[in-house]
Structure 1
Amino acid sequence: MSISLPGPTLGVVGGGQLARMLSEAAAPLGVDVVVLDPTPDCPAAPVVRDQIVAAFDDADGIHELASRVDALTFEIELADPEALAAAAAEHDVPVHPDPGTLETIQDKLVQAEALADAGIPEPEFVAVATQGGVERAAQEFGGVMLKARKGGYDGRGNVPVTDPADAADALAAVGGDAMAERFVDFEREIAVMGVKGADGETRTYPPTETVHRDEILRESVSPARADDAVLDRAEAVAEDVLAFLDGRGAYGIELFETRDGDVLVNEIAPRPHNSGHWTIEGARTSQFENHVRAVLGWPLGPTDLVAPAVTANLLGDVSDPTPATLRGVESVLAAPDADLHWYGKAEARPLRKMGHLTVTASDETADLPADRDALLSRARALRDGTTFRRE
């Protein structure tokens, strides 16, 4: 393959923070980005060549996007796989990951069944569509995570059910067509960012420990504070997932480490993922740059760890929507070991992801759990020193 600069133009369905960081990674490679997003002046708008204002599943908008670019991708699972495939074929541009993969991922039950057929370990599950079905699953499994089959991602559309009496309310909350997954007694949650490139090349980043509260990712710790055997198993499972998926690009592979050291797949995101934001400062090549490289069929960059890193999300700490003004930023900017990322959203909402900060160790030798504990404490302190509230 011959590559010259300036490079091609990449079209992205979705213009949120992932597209913003994707565009920031694409610019040094000489790659321009055009996004499609329904929100005028979306978060990615300041750093892309242009924005098409249209819904994520708007076929006409996706066709217009395809007519203006050299390759297509997406940063949100709400993209329409049929429209992507049709637009790519009509305008003779590649689209990655494969729309078929997106279609599989969009339906939690279809995803789980496909993983089971491929022999990839995951929690027990059953399809449910009635109150009685949820009640039986909760009784049989001793508690379940009820997941909406469609429309949910990054924890959205998930409702825990420990008491069968809560079945009706939980089923209504997820929209009535769901999958019930056995609760996993996990030691920790882990995520592996994997990348599929041209000619079947795959690479994985070191496993990350993800810390959630109320189904929202709060912090990530890289590398994960787990035994080497667990980390090796997590990477092996991630490689199996990459082999199972079709299409080039970065994939967020969310996993459970069980109490007895097994590794189970939780969910898969066919795109860059919040759990991989640490790679911007903590890895040789970020997940965003490697996604651009992969989609374009360019050689992948190394995924080696540069230094242990902890990322803390900056979430809306307000009770009602309010214009987004983050206060206390000076403490983060003054920290020599911290990097700040602002997502450009105009409105702060309760627990909305508004940005993140990453604290990195001085070198890759600082890899003992105690060092990562200290990094986590420091990241939390810097994060907690900021607020969207008016004091």
Structure 2
Amino acid sequence: MQLSTPGPTVGVVGGGQLGRMLGEAAGPLGVEVVVLDPTPDCPAAPVVRDQLVGDFDDEEGVRELADRADVLTYEIELADPDLLERVGEATGTPVHPSPDTLRTIQDKLVQNEWLADAGVPVPEFVRVDDAEDLRAAGEELGWPVMLKARRGGYDGRGNVPVEGPEACDGALAEVGAGEAGALAEALVPFERELSVIGVKGADGTATFAVTETIHREEILRESVTPARTSDEVLDRAREIAERVLDATEGRGVFGIELFEREGEVLVNEIAPRPHNSGHWTIEGAHASQFEQHLRAVLGWPLGETARRDLTVTANLLGDVERAAEPATLDALGAILSEPRAHLHWYGKRETRPLRKMGHVTLVGGEGEGTETLLSRARDLRAEVTVR
């Protein structure tokens, strides 16, 4: 393969924090990035070649993006797969991952059916169109159940546990199922939540180390890599991630969220893009998930996915009491003074309670244990205020 730099241009639908980090990874490769995002001066804008201001389903905007790019990709599931497919075919611009994969992922019921058909273990699930269906699902699966809107949910939004038949009407209204409907899953009494960042390239697949993800109030707070679990579970998680990659179409990075339950591993959800649980790879792996995504969508050789050392991340979230505009991070010196701490500020202009505004990564030193590193990351976060 003959490659040269300056290199090609990647068009990205979405210019949020993931688009920003794709832009940061593109620079050293000689790759240029142009993003399409509805927010003027979006988070990615300072680090990419250009931003086109337009909605994710703006056909004129997507077509202009395709005209300026050698390949199209997306960093948000709100991208329109039908539009991407249509524009890609009309302009001859490849789209990765495949719009078919995005179409499948956007509907949680279709996603679960697809995974089950591919032999990937998922929690038991039932389609739900109304309260009567939900009550029947509870009887079949056993109360409580996890109710999920089929479309639009993220960061725990669109998901709600339902304790019994009397809560069905309120739960359906809470998740905002609407005409799209919902599904009920058997509630998994998991021991821990895991994630594997997988990458599918032109010449094969690869996975990063299995990560333990720590959530509170359905929001990812910290990650620990490698996950604190048995070698058997780590091997099973990687095996399942490879099975998921085999089932997907198109190239790119995929965030694969998992549950561990009594040595068993189940898939929770798939994201066809770089993922928050993979931010540790920027400092903790030889080639980050963002570099790998660019390499993959361009058809370039993949980089090394091995981790460098024990790595912990802590998300910096909007203060629940003091959300304000513009966004600021106070007491920054606490992070900058910490050896082996790496700050990532996402450049979002507006703070909201529990909104992900940045993260800090700590890479372990010689003889340093997981609990010590995790405690330091939490202490650092406690010293700063995002408002």
Q: Under a length normalisation based on structure 2, what TM-score does the superposition of the two structures give?
A: 0.97
- In structure 2, the residue matched to 1:349 is 352
Q: Is the 8 A contact 1:318 1:388 kept in 2?
A: no
Shift of 1:154: 3.2
In structure 2, what is the Cα distance between the partners aligned to 1:72 and 1:319?
A: 40
Which amino acid in 2 is paired with 1:377?
S
Match of 1:195 among 188, 196, 199: 199
Change (3 A) 1:79 1:192: same
Q: Is the 8 A contact 1:318 1:348 kept in 2?
A: no
2:217 pairs with 1:214: yes
Shift of 1:139: 3.5
- In structure 1, the residue matched to 2:88 is 88
Match of 1:288 among 282, 287, 290: 290
Which amino acid in 2 is paired with 1:226?
T
- In structure 2, the residue matched to 1:248 is 251
In structure 2, what is the Cα distance between the partners aligned to 1:320 and 1:247?
A: 43
Shift of 1:142: 1.9
Q: Is the 8 A contact 1:12 1:36 kept in 2?
A: yes
- In structure 2, the residue matched to 1:20 is 20
Q: Is the 8 A contact 1:319 1:349 kept in 2?
A: no
Shift of 1:57: 1.4
- In structure 2, the residue matched to 1:39 is 39
Q: Is the 8 A contact 1:204 1:303 kept in 2?
A: yes
Shift of 1:174: 2.0
What SS does the aligned partner of 1:345 have? coil
Shift of 1:162: 1.6
CA deviations over 1:271-330 (Å, ceiling 9, x no partner): 000000000010011000000000000000000010110000000013364121110110
In structure 2, what is the Cα distance between the partners aligned to 1:90 and 1:298?
A: 24
What SS does the aligned partner of 2:127 have? strand
2:181 pairs with 1:180: no
- In structure 1, the residue matched to 2:155 is 154
In structure 2, what is the Cα distance between the partners aligned to 1:318 and 1:171?
A: 26
In structure 2, what is the Cα distance between the partners aligned to 1:320 and 1:60?
A: 39
In structure 2, what is the Cα distance between the partners aligned to 1:58 and 1:173?
A: 29
Shift of 1:388: 2.5
- In structure 1, the residue matched to 2:381 is 383
- In structure 1, the residue matched to 2:54 is 54
Q: Any gaps of 5 or more consecutive residues in structure 1?
A: none
What SS does the aligned partner of 2:169 have? helix
What SS does the aligned partner of 2:386 have? coil
What SS does the aligned partner of 1:251 have? strand
Q: Is the 8 A contact 2:318 2:352 kept in 1?
A: yes
Which amino acid in 2 is paired with 1:152?
G
Q: Is the 8 A contact 1:212 1:218 kept in 2?
A: yes
- In structure 1, the residue matched to 2:167 is 166
In structure 1, what is the Cα distance between the partners aligned to 2:221 and 2:48?
A: 28
What SS does the aligned partner of 1:56 have? coil
Which amino acid in 2 is paired with 1:243?
D
- Identify which range, 17-26 or 144-153, moves more after superposition: 144-153
Q: Any gaps of 5 or more consecutive residues in structure 2?
A: none
CA deviations over 1:338-388 (Å, ceiling 9, x no partner): 10000001111000000000011025x75xxxx111111110000111103
- In structure 1, the residue matched to 2:137 is 137
What SS does the aligned partner of 1:290 have? helix
- In structure 1, the residue matched to 2:339 is 336
In structure 2, what is the Cα distance between the partners aligned to 1:349 and 1:49?
A: 28
Shift of 1:161: 1.0
- In structure 2, the residue matched to 1:67 is 67
In structure 2, what is the Cα distance between the partners aligned to 1:173 and 1:90?
A: 40
In structure 2, what is the Cα distance between the partners aligned to 1:139 and 1:317?
A: 40
Q: Is the 8 A contact 1:254 1:267 kept in 2?
A: yes
In structure 1, what is the Cα distance between the partners aligned to 2:143 and 2:161?
A: 11
Which amino acid in 2 is paired with 1:149?
R
In structure 1, what is the Cα distance between the partners aligned to 2:291 and 2:98?
A: 19
What SS does the aligned partner of 2:329 have? coil
Shift of 1:87: 1.2
Q: Is the 8 A contact 2:213 2:277 kept in 1?
A: yes
Match of 1:269 among 265, 268, 271: 271
Q: Is the 8 A contact 2:313 2:359 kept in 1?
A: yes
- Identify which range, 212-221 or 139-148, moves more after superposition: 139-148
Shift of 1:245: 0.5
Runs of 4+ in 1 over 6 A off after TM superposition: none
Which amino acid in 2 is paired with 1:356?
H
What SS does the aligned partner of 1:114 have? helix
In structure 2, what is the Cα distance between the partners aligned to 1:61 and 1:222?
A: 39
Which amino acid in 2 is paired with 1:375?
L
What SS does the aligned partner of 1:104 have? helix
Q: Under a length normalisation based on structure 1, what TM-score does the superposition of the two structures give?
A: 0.96
- Percentage of identical aligned residues: 64
- In structure 2, the residue matched to 1:235 is 238
In structure 1, what is the Cα distance between the partners aligned to 2:54 and 2:274?
A: 22
RMSD: 1.1
What SS does the aligned partner of 1:300 have? coil
Which amino acid in 1 is paired with 2:70?
D
